[in-house]
Structure formats: structure tokens, C-alpha cells
């Protein structure tokens, strides 16, 4: 039992204790822990300068023993009345604080690990080929994204401009994306780095990974379709990637671990997780457009786990750094109401989605607000919340002159 | 005329003055300027803490006026005898210093802007399609690489392991790359960042870009060939990217500016450099294997310029940060002795290269040393050196157990 007054059914109980970076008017960003509807000012409560840097990186770099020790200390503080008088003054109402990007992102990698998503996109982008490329079942396909445009939930989504060319067009034109989309994903944050030239075995996953956040990998499908052969997505993705402000410690997800789906082909030993313990995670995502529930992507359906992704990412000797973010790729389940992107939900724009107000959507319109939330099983039937990542689409910055110059 | 004793024909004369980060035994890394065979300790000579941080980032962030002011000051110091007694104690022999990674790399982008290289690789990787993809002449294709594995010249090149699958193989195997290659490139470093959502016009190139270095984008062709469809290169590149230690200021390359090759198709206005002044650069690269000259890639043949690359990179509103590195892609000219990678020089391994000692190479062997150097026209017929980027191949870290596990 905890002495703070926790709302019934809160996803931010003592089994969660996610970390974030917050500020109040006139104060500097510092580390906090979400507790019910409050945030515990860790910098003030601990007096430890590691929590006053304005990002979680320094604490994440301390490693699993330090993470476990602080978690234990926080639980003691919040359950033992003896600590109440010292701790309670550092609990602030969450509604009064601003939340910041919790981590200084080092490298950002995005995977492509939902079989259902990969098959759906393969069918749409490469209709004349098998939906999965031959490598897909043998390795978790991934690519590097732009770390500098990872931003915290709430950052406006300026509709990107770029080149696009419909098959019937003679030449590409420049202009605002007409197929602005979302990708509902789960992100993993590296705390402890590794040495150049040495791989990180799958079994060492929890020695390196600190925690989990939600990711919306905003995507401009028209830009992406024109640019992505042969070197992969670039401007179709790099304009913004939004992350949730609360980083849920890996330790909070122990009740969410599940075996991943059965694999179709034998895995090479460095990816074989049969002995290391499975890192499938039963995280239930929800995608909302202007408040209306669009889909419920099940993370437990992901073919490749984060532990496999990390082992693959480093098998060539690439080193990790504190602050590396790697995301799962769009989470889509087998059901039509489990798809994590609009391009899947509207089947490439050919089957518009009808909203409760009677309007329809294929891709995002200016003013639309997309919110991702998620939860996972905690102890004793409780739920762990992953916070939310939200963003409102702003019109493209596209002037009359730009319009003239969009075509030659 | 300068008072320091400069070797005849030095590429590090007063028209160059490249910046780097150096240390001597027992001292902390700090900023220096190469002058002939010496390095000027800028931290000591200026007393400015911006030069004592151990990276160029803080100085690069100050912008073009600060860059020009320091350059002018350095020239005055090194030409006017009146400054000699104050400055000379801070000139150290270059052979006595260690050179470090000059920049804390933010995001790393690699382009693909040599038409000859793209055509050569297209013929080898996609023999059944036209060598250039339809987008190639309309936009500078690029992708994000791994910033955390950008390292300074001299860093050992541990042969990477990874999945590879020859067409005849039934399943992929794990093991050391058998097609370890180089890519001779020129890199551009961003000093002044930009705001999320706002594009950087082509004409603003020199307001953002601080300087130029050489890049060897080490590549494992067998890993790359198996993994790169559909999301682009990942582990085939991410194990190491080496850069030269000296960053040549953009201002030192004013005599190297040339018009780029004629374009085949009309360019969209944001990429049209007809009015902004061309940013083709007449940089002559040299690729050496174990000291022997293998090829002389001409940077002036690049189809897309760095100014076009920067305009493209930001046209979707992606922001720049101090320390962003973007590289040209492999520099290959039309001639067979102008190719910037072994896969081109040995035509996919089918035409081995014979070295002076009678041995042959298709791809790199353990112990091989690859060194890239380059120079560009300076004033009055002089040459500006870009320093060098070198690396020796070390054997893969691949044990007997690994060998057993490489195949299931």
C-alpha cells in the first residue's frame, strides 16, 4: 500500500514508476517520476545532480544495478509512512508541469518487425512481388532514422513538403504531402553502451536497455514511395518522430513478458531466443484520431522481439551509446481493427475510414490530432500505462511563391 | 608571407588552416589548426574556452561571422612578425600529437550522388533493371547512417560479421564479411543548425556548413546485398565510418568551386543552383591500398552538389543540428581508374586487381591498409590538402564456437 492518494485504476501506480523530464514555470527541466496524478521531483527529493541534468541519459548510463536500487528506494519512500514528510513536498500535480523530451537521443533505428504490417505494405508498395522480401523471416529488418527530429509528445506536426510523383505523372512535383500518415510503435532506450567491434548477445538485453516509450513515426507515404528505392526511407520519415514523455522501466514490464509468435524458419543462433527467455511483450496499443478509437494494435504479435533487434543491431560490431533509441516498426495485428497505420486502415487510400461525425479519412487532414496510448499487465491484475504520444497536424508552410515553383 | 617555416608545396599553408582536435601525452584534447608540419594550439593561443572543449562543435555553432573573424586573426598572427613571440610557443610538431574525432557527430547522412557510382552499382546489384532508378536524376538520394560509429582516421577496421546469403544458398549463414570494401567520399559538417519545420534554401548553404573532411564509408557488400531490400543499407555500413582528422573550412575551398556536370532533366526550383552559384568542387581524391595508388576519383564529376544535398535534406522541414555530417556518397568518375570502391574497381569481384607485389585483390584482406587523401586548388596555383583518412583491417572477432553456430 502506498501513502500517496492514487486514483482507482491508475496506470501509474507503484508497479510502474516511469521516468520523465519536467519543469514548472521558471524552473529548469529535471527528472521526475510519475506517481498517480503527481510527479515526484527526483532532483529535489534525492539531491542527486544526476537527476538535474535535464535528460535521463546520465542516470540511464549508470546501469541496471543503479536502476534497480533507485526503483527499490522509490517504492520504500512511497509505501513507508516514515518517509512521507520528507517526500510529500516533492510531489507536484502532473497537470501543473511541462514535460520535455526525456532523453538526448544518440542514434535512432527503426525496425520493421510486424509481419502483418510488412505483408500489408509489401502488397501495396510491391504488388508484383511476394509481400515479404526473402530476408524478412531471417533477420529483423531495420534502418537508421533521424535522431535530431525525435521530439516529445505534443510537438506540432507541420505537414511536410517534398517530391512526389504519381505513376501517371511525367515528372515529380514539389508540394505538401497528400498522404500524411502515422505509425504506432514501441521504442526501446539504451542506457548502457557497448564497445566498438564487440557484439551484444541476445541474453544481455536487460543489461543495456533501460526502458520503453511509445513512438509515432509520422510518415509521408507519397514522399516515401518516390524516394525509397534503392536506399530506403529518408524525407518521408525524417520530418518528425514523436515519443511519449514517460519512459517505463524494463523492470515494470516483467508481468508483460510473453513468448513471441511461432517462427516460420529456423533462426541463426545469435537470434535464437529459445534459451534466453522470450522478450515478447503483451503491450496493448490504442490509436485515436480526434479522440475516436481507430485501432488496437497488439504488440504481442510482433514477430521479432526487442532483444532480437538489439542482438542483430550489434552483430556486426556496431557499438551502442547511452540514448540510442530503437523502435519496433509499426505494430499491426492480423485483424483489420489492429492496424497501426492509416495506409493499412484505409488500404492505401482505397477504402476510406468513416468517423463518428460522418466525415471520412484516408490520410491525415490539417488539424487532425492523433493520440497513441498503451498499457501492459502489471501485478495482481493491474495495468501499467505507457503514457501517451500525441500530435496535431499543422498546415504545410507553403506559400504562393512555393506553389508557383512546385512545378517547373 | 608567413613567418612559420612551411615545407615547400605543403597543402597546409595559410590558404588552408584546417581545424582539428589534438592532444599531447598527459593533456586533454583541444582544438588545433594545422600549419605546415605543425599544429597551433588554439586553446592556449586564444585563451578562449570554446577551443578547449575537445570538439569543434561549440566553435562551429558560432556561425560564419565568427569563423571568418578567427580565420582573419589566424592569418594575421601567422604573417605579422609582431605576433611571432606570442604565437610561436603554441606551435607544436604535428608528429608529436594525437589526433581525435574532430566533431561530436549529431546525425550522419550518406548520399549517393556520383552518377558513375550509382550506374556501376545498379548494373551489379540490379542487373535486370535500368542502372539508375527513376528518381535518381530528380533528387539526391540519401539515407541516414550510424552517427555513433563515425570514428577518426586510424581507428582499426574490425572485419564485421553478419548474415549473408549467396543466391545459390538455401539459407543465410552468419560469419565474417567476405566482401569488405571501401567508399571514398567527401563529408560536409554543419555548424549552424536550423528550426524544425523550416527548410534551408540552397543559397544558404555557406551560412550553415562549416567545413569539409574525407570519409571512408567502409562497406560489407555481402551483408548489404542480403539486407538492403526494402529499407536500405544497415549492418553492411554501420560497423564503422572513418573521417579525416582535419576539417577544411569551406572558405579555404573558394578556388575549388566549379560548375557541376550538365543535368539531364530540369530540376525543381529548390534544387536549381543556376542562380545561387555552383557548389561543384574540384577536389582530387586518391585511394591507396598498402601504399599503392589504386584510383583517382574526381569530386568535380559529382552530379549533385553538397548545396543541393542540404536543400533536399531539409525540404521536408527536417531540422539541422551543429555536428550533422553529410557525405557525398562514393566518388567515382567515368574512367576505370577513377572508381572510389573496390566493388567497382574489381567489377563485383569478377576482375581482380593486380597489385605491384604481384598479389591480387577483389575485396579487402586482413592486414590491408587503405588510405584516402585529397587536394583542391588554392590561390596562385597552390594546393589545399584535405588530410587523410586511413584504416587497417583487423581479423573478424570470430571464435571456434561462433564458427559452429554460423550455420544451424
Q: Which residues share a beta bridge with A185? A: A215
Kindly determine whether residue A317 and residue B158, on different chains, have CB atoms separated by under 8 Å. Answer: yes
d(CA A311, CA B324): 27
Residues B312-335 have a mean pLDDT of 98
Residues of B in contact with A233 (CB under 8 A): 143, 231-232
The band of A164, judged by pLDDT with boundaries at 50, 70 and 90, is very high
Give the sheet arrangement for strand A38-41, strand by strand.
Answer: A91-93, A38-41, A30-35, A19-23, A98-100
- Convert the pLDDT of each residue in B163-197 to its tens digit: 999 889 999 999 999 999 999 999 999 999 999 99
Give ranges for CATH 2.30.30.230 in chain A. Answer: 19-100
Specify the residue for cell string 541476445: A202
Residues A286-297 have a mean pLDDT of 98
- Convert the pLDDT of each residue in A4-17 to its tens digit: 989 999 999 999 99
Taking CA A317 as the corner, what is the angle to CA B339 and CA B162, rounded to the nearest 5 degrees?
A: 70
Instruction: List Cβ neighbours of B194 (8 Å cut-off, separation of 6 or more).
Output: B200, B208, B314, B319, B320
Instruction: List Cβ neighbours of B277 (8 Å cut-off, separation of 6 or more).
Output: B257
Question: Does A161 contact chain B (CB < 8 Å)?
Answer: yes
- Convert the pLDDT of each residue in B280-312 to its tens digit: 999 999 999 999 999 999 999 999 999 999 999
Cell numbers linked to A246: 514517460
Q: Is A185 annotated as a binding residue?
A: yes
Kindly report the number of other CB atoms within 10 A of residue B369's CB atom. 14
d(CA A342, CA A394): 18
The band of B408, judged by pLDDT with boundaries at 50, 70 and 90, is low
* DSSP labels, A337-372: GG-SSHHHHTTTTTSPEEPTTS-EESSPPTT-EEEE
d(CA B281, CA B270): 20
ipTM of model: 0.97
* Mean confidence (pLDDT) of chain A: 96
Question: What's the CATH architecture for B108-406?
Answer: Alpha-Beta Complex (3.90)
* DSSP labels, B389-402: EEEEEEPP---HHH
Where helices occur in A213-321 by DSSP H, the ranges are 221-227, 306-314
Q: Which residues of B are catalytic?
A: 117
Q: Which residues share a beta bridge with A99? A: A22
Interface of A with B in 237-266 (CB under 8 A): 238-240, 265-266
d(CA B332, CA B334): 7
Where helices occur in B250-399 by DSSP H, the ranges are 306-314, 342-345
Interface of B with A in 198-237 (CB under 8 A): 198-199, 220, 223, 226-236
Residues B323-336 have a mean pLDDT of 98
Extended beta strands in B166-306, E state:
173-176, 180-181, 184-190, 209-216, 219-220, 241-243, 248-249, 257-258, 280-281, 284-289, 292-295
Statement: residue A118 has pLDDT above 70: yes
Which one, of B93, B145, B139, lies nearest residue B272 by Cα? B139
d(CA A187, CA A374): 12
- Convert the pLDDT of each residue in A240-285 to its tens digit: 999 999 999 999 999 999 999 999 899 999 999 988 788 999 999 9
- What single DSSP character describes residue A224? H
Kindly report the number of other CB atoms within 10 A of residue B330's CB atom. 29
From the list B232, B269, B405, the residue facing A232 with the nearest CB is B232
Residues of A in contact with B125 (CB under 8 A): 230
Give ranges for CATH 3.90.850.10 in chain A. Answer: 108-406
Residues of B in contact with A319 (CB under 8 A): 148-149
For chain A, give the number of residues: 408
Return the CATH number of B19-100, one of 3.10.129.10, 2.60.40.10, 2.30.30.230, 2.60.40.1840. 2.30.30.230
Terminus-to-terminus CA distance in chain A, angstroms?
68
Decide: B259 and B279 in contact? Cβ < 8 Å: no
Extended beta strands in B241-342, E state:
241-243, 248-249, 257-258, 280-281, 284-289, 292-295, 325-327
Taking CA A264 as the corner, what is the angle to CA A260 and CA A268, rounded to the nearest 5 degrees?
A: 85
Instruction: List Cβ neighbours of B72 (8 Å cut-off, separation of 6 or more).
Output: none
Interface test with B, best of A109, A141, A197 (most B CBs within 10 A): A197
- What single DSSP character describes residue A37? T
Give the pLDDT confidence score for residue B319 in this predicted structure.
Answer: 98
Residues A32-48 have a mean pLDDT of 98
Decide: A276 and A357 in contact? Cβ < 8 Å: no
Decide: B162 and B182 in contact? Cβ < 8 Å: no
Give the pLDDT confidence score for residue B135 in this predicted structure.
Answer: 97
Give the pLDDT confidence score for residue A408 in this predicted structure.
Answer: 52
Amino acid at each position: 500500500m502506498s501513502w500517496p492518494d492514487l486514483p482507482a485504476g491508475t496506470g501509474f501506480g507503484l508497479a510502474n514508476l516511469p521516468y520523465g523530464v519536467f519543469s514548472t514555470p521558471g524552473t529548469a527541466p529535471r527528472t521526475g517520476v510519475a506517481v498517480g496524478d503527481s510527479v515526484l521531483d527526483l532532483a529535489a527529493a534525492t539531491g542527486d545532480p544526476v537527476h538535474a541534468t535535464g535528460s535521463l541519459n546520465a542516470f540511464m548510463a549508470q546501469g541496471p544495478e543503479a536502476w534497480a536500487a533507485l526503483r527499490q528506494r522509490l517504492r520504500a519512500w512511497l509505501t513507508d509512512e516514515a518517509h512521507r514528510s520528507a517526500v510529500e513536498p516533492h510531489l507536484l500535480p502532473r497537470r501543473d508541469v511541462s514535460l520535455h523530451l526525456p532523453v538526448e537521443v544518440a542514434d535512432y533505428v527503426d525496425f520493421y518487425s510486424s509481419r502483418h504490417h510488412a505483408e500489408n505494405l509489401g502488397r501495396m508498395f510491391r504488388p508484383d512481388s511476394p509481400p515479404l522480401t526473402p530476408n524478412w523471416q531471417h533477420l529483423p529488418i531495420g534502418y537508421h532514422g533521424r535522431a535530431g527530429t525525435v521530439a516529445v509528445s505534443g510537438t506540432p506536426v507541420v505537414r511536410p513538403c517534398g517530391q512526389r510523383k504519381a505513376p501517371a505523372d511525367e515528372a515529380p512535383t514539389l508540394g505538401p504531402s497528400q498522404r500524411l500518415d502515422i505509425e504506432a510503435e514501441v521504442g526501446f532506450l539504451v542506457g548502457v553502451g557497448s564497445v566498438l567491434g564487440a557484439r551484444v548477445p541476445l541474453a544481455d538485453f536487460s543489461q543495456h536497455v533501460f526502458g520503453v516509450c511509445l513512438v509515432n513515426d509520422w510518415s509521408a507515404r507519397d514522399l516515401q514511395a518516390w524516394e525509397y528505392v534503392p536506399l530506403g526511407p529518408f524525407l518521408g520519415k525524417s520530418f518528425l518522430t514523436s515519443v511519449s514523455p514517460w519512459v517505463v522501466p524494463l523492470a515494470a514490464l516483467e508481468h508483460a513478458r510473453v513468448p513471441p509468435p511461432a517462427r516460420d524458419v529456423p533462426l541463426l543462433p545469435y537470434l535464437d531466443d529459445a534459451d534466453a527467455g522470450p522478450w515478447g511483450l503483451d503491450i496493448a496499443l490504442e490509436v485515436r484520431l480526434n479522440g475516436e478509437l481507430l485501432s488496437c494494435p497488439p504488440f504481442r504479435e510482433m514477430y521479432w522481439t526487442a532483444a532480437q533487434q538489439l542482438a542483430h543491431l550489434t552483430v556486426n560490431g556496431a557499438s551502442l551509446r547511452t540514448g540510442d533509441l530503437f523502435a519496433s516498426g509499426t505494430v499491426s495485428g492480423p485483424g483489420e481493427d489492429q492496424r497501426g497505420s492509416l495506409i493499412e486502415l484505409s488500404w492505401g487510400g482505397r477504402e476510406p475510414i468513416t468517423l463518428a461525425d460522418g466525415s471520412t479519412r484516408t490520410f491525415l487532414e490539417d488539424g487532425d490530432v492523433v493520440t497513441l496510448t498503451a498499457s501492459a499487465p502489471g501485478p495482481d491484475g493491474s495495468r501499467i500505462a505507457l503514457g501517451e504520444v500525441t500530435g496535431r497536424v499543422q498546415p504545410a508552410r507553403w506559400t504562393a511563391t512555393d506553389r508557383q515553383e512546385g512545378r517547373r
